[in-house]
Chains A and B, each alone.
Chain A
């Protein structure tokens, strides 16, 4: 291309073109900046939770060698099989034994800083393995919360030299705490665990799923396949769409006013929590279910009708199985939202302090997000770590659920 064929551009035109291109670039970078900012906030959130939370999976432990052989704890092997084996060990003098062992290993000051419930962990080890009574074992016993914060360089000044001395000797260290996953709530951050809340969450989700999934799917089938076009159907559709957008706390008010009025005995039970969340999740399932049912081509229905199936058979033998992967995807997303929901459960009283994992749908329980909320109110630094650790677990659960939804979507995606 030679010089002559270029259009004749005036200087003014050139300048304006340059300005327009510059504006174009600015606009593009603004868009990129917006995305990068959002992703950065997400990264900061995740990194700060992880950094705080890693400590939450650990706890400060004192290593105490206990020589059962010499201490001579006398207890009948039969009693260790009973349900009250720990109480039996207590009467047999286990707390005293652990105390003495701690004094020998750590000195009187150190022994004072062994958590007062530490002997229970020794007791549980004995129940698990009675042969221990004839041998010697070094236990990592939880330190008191004061010593744990002194180890971090916080809290009481007078304990810091002791913490330093013990940790220099290798007797005090932060270890991974498997018990965090198996214990329930407590008042001491050294002794808390997540299992109580996790079990409450699982029970609540089971109730939610058992109610929301069938009702949601059946309602979607009715609206998409059978509902006549009339005012009633319109009202149903409008109320489903509205319910999907109602703030979750309103569902909490509904649960408080209606469910707790009908079942006053089941306050803060997973049953009521699950029912409340089911009402919230149901519209999500209906909406996604309708989309999945709509995606099944009419030729399938026509084919089935043509060979003599009844309308109910068409839907339950042909349409529903084909739409199920799509419905499942929507259900998992709705359940993930319900799992992270806190406000409605606060309303129906699931914020109580529950120190034992719930053993049924009707026993008092708390759920993971509420547990996070309760711990976040505690000022102790130990609880900050524990809260972040609980958040990591909650986020992992959500990640798994969303991953499953994406997998289902990709695995069963069909182009008709």
Chain B
């Protein structure tokens, strides 16, 4: 809670600076002949407030990051910590227990050694809180005082405030680049570490996937990702698309070309609800309702070994999830075809369906293809449905009734276990994530290029 208090303190100081500076600016207004300042009083106020807020908020951000480490190191330096066990699980448990009691989160400790550490912890936490509080006050006052002394009747406060505002706007837009960089760097970093243990060739072309998070040796032959890639493609790009493309396309055609406006007003939102259902709900639906149904159906036609976790169930439900996505992309690109082309075809005596099949769809094809690309990229990145319905077995098979596993399933499986960050099984999740990132990025890029070229054709 300590950073929150410091932030509130910073805000309070900022408000005080704002009010003081505004009052000062109004007093200038009375003193100066003609009552005109170089900037409105509120700009003087904002100038001071910014000088209080920016340094203090920066300090609080940095402080909340380093303070816990300072506390830990000062506790470890205390005599009571001298006989702690060496690095490991027990040591961190003892430290955590003592810290929890010192913060008031827990009533007592289970470990005797932790008891001795409570006092040093309490002291260190109190100290760090005091330092944070005083430093925030001092920084806020110094910033505020410096800015306050600079405001004068002819001080161009507005220019300075606006320059700061522009800088903040620029920083906000840079967050996107930072995020992209963060994704790239973190994925690359861990992937490189993984490839230090398992060769990329084994990873990309091996056909056996069976990482063992408990083993202490690295066996590179267990990290062949081909079955995962196949499972991902089979579920996301084949089964799901067999469901989603015809249904989505036909829905879009019916809604734009046939449905009367009254029905359209009801059906289109109904389709959109399909897109708004959380994937965990789809996953539950797939596992609870669709998968047993598929299994029973398969058994009733004589397939005895049908699995209750099947690629088919996951793929079909995923396809249903994607329908509104394909439908709205197709909708947009059909609507973008010039009305004259449609009218021309109808005037020649073609029926509506002939017009759609021979004129509208071919003309809208680039947009539709782009939509399908985006749909595939969404399907292969989808996680919860496959985690809940597709199974964990890495099978290299074309039988949709068998359990299959996907890239996203394995990322979840590898990172929610107890494995450490030095184990290749854990790191393999980042390598898989990297491949997933590159593939979806590639698909999106192609889709956007296709859409761009297509749009130019009619403008």
Interface residues of A (CB under 8 A from B): 20-21, 23-24, 27-28, 30-35, 37-39, 41-42, 44-45, 48-49, 52, 214-216, 218-219, 221-223, 226-227, 235-236, 239-243, 245-251, 253-254, 256-258, 262-263, 265, 279, 282-283, 286, 310-312, 316, 336-337, 339-343, 346-347, 351, 360-363, 369-370, 372-373, 376, 384, 387-388, 391, 394-395, 398, 402
Contact = CB atoms under 8 A, between A and B. Distances in A.
Interface in B53-70: 65, 68
13 contacts: A24-B352, A27-B356, A38-B274, A219-B172, A239-B177, A250-B183, A265-B68, A311-B162, A340-B277, A343-B408, A376-B280, A376-B283, A394-B278
A85 B98 CA distance: 26
Size class of the B contact interface (CB-based, 8 Å):
35 or more
A362 B103 CA distance: 13
A327 to B, nearest CB: 14
Given A343-B408, A343-B412, A215 B175 contact: yes
Contacts of A384: 288
A261 B253 CA distance: 49
Contacts of A398: 276-278
Contacts of A310: 158, 162
A154 to B, nearest CB: 16
B182 A248 contact: no
Contacts of A42: 270, 273-274, 277
Report which residue of B187, B270, B280 has the largest number of chain A beta carbons within 10 angstroms of its beta carbon.
B280
A266 B176 CA distance: 24
B351 interface: yes
B177 A241 contact: no
Interface of B: 1, 4, 65, 68, 105, 158, 162, 165-166, 168-170, 172-177, 179-180, 182-183, 186-187, 189-190, 246-251, 253-255, 257-259, 267, 270-271, 273-274, 276-285, 287-289, 320, 323-324, 351-354, 356-357, 374, 377-378, 380-384, 387-388, 408, 411-412, 415-416, 429-430, 433, 436-437, 440-441, 444-445, 448
B412 A347 contact: yes
A222 B175 CA distance: 12
B388 A336 contact: no
Contact of A39 (B271, B284, B351, B441): B271
B289 A253 contact: no
Contacts of A283: 176
A37 B323 CA distance: 11
Contact of A218 (B173, B273, B356, B378): B173
Nearest to A245: B444
Contacts of B190: 257
A142 B259 CA distance: 53
Given A38-B247, A236-B176, A347-B412, A253 B441 contact: no
